[in-house]
Amino acid sequence: MKKLSRLIIGIFVLSGCASANLRETPPEDAFSIAEYSSIKLDEGTYRIVFFGKSVTANATSADFARLQSAAIATKNGYKYFMISKYFVTSPGVTGTAPDNTPASSDLPMNTLIVQCFNDRPADARSAVYDASEISKRIRAQYKL
C-alpha cells in the first residue's frame, strides 16, 4: 500500500512537471501525440518522461523520448547525452520504475535518466549520442 501511494504521488508530481515544461520543450509538432516532462536531478543529469497517446506506437515513443533528451541537452548547453536508465511502460503492462516502485499505464510511457556532456566521454558504459545529430535524424524521420 505504501508503494502504491508513492506511485500515485509520483504520477501527480510528474503530471505537474509535464504541464510546466510542455510549452518549453520541442518538438511542438509532436504535442498532438505526446506530453513531456523533464526534471533536473543534478548538474548535467535529467529525468525525461514521455507520455504517448493511446495511438502512439512504442517505437515512436522511444524516438520521441530520445528527441526530448536531445532537446534538453541542447537547451542546457550540452553537445552529447547518454541514457543511463531507461524504463518503458506499454499500455496495460505493469512493471518497475527506475526507483524500483511499481508502475503501470494505459498509455505508452518512457522514463529516461539522461546524463549530458560537453565532450564525448571516452569511458562511457552506454551509447553516447550527439544531441544535434539525434534531433536532425528523428525530426527528418517524422517530418517535424
- Mean pLDDT of all residues belonging to the chain: 74
pLDDT at residue 14 greater than cutoff 50: no
Q: Give the gyration radius of the chain's Cα atoms.
A: 15
CB–CB of 87/97 below 8 Å? yes
Domain residue limits at 115: 2-141
Question: Into how many domains does the chain fold?
Answer: 1
CA–CA gap between residue 131 and residue 19 (Å, rounded): 24
Give residue 32's pLDDT.
53
pLDDT tens string 62-93: 888 899 999 999 999 999 999 999 887 766 55
Domain with 26 in it: what CATH number?
3.30.1360
Strands (E), the chain: 34-42, 45-52, 80-89, 94-96, 102-104, 109-117, 128-130
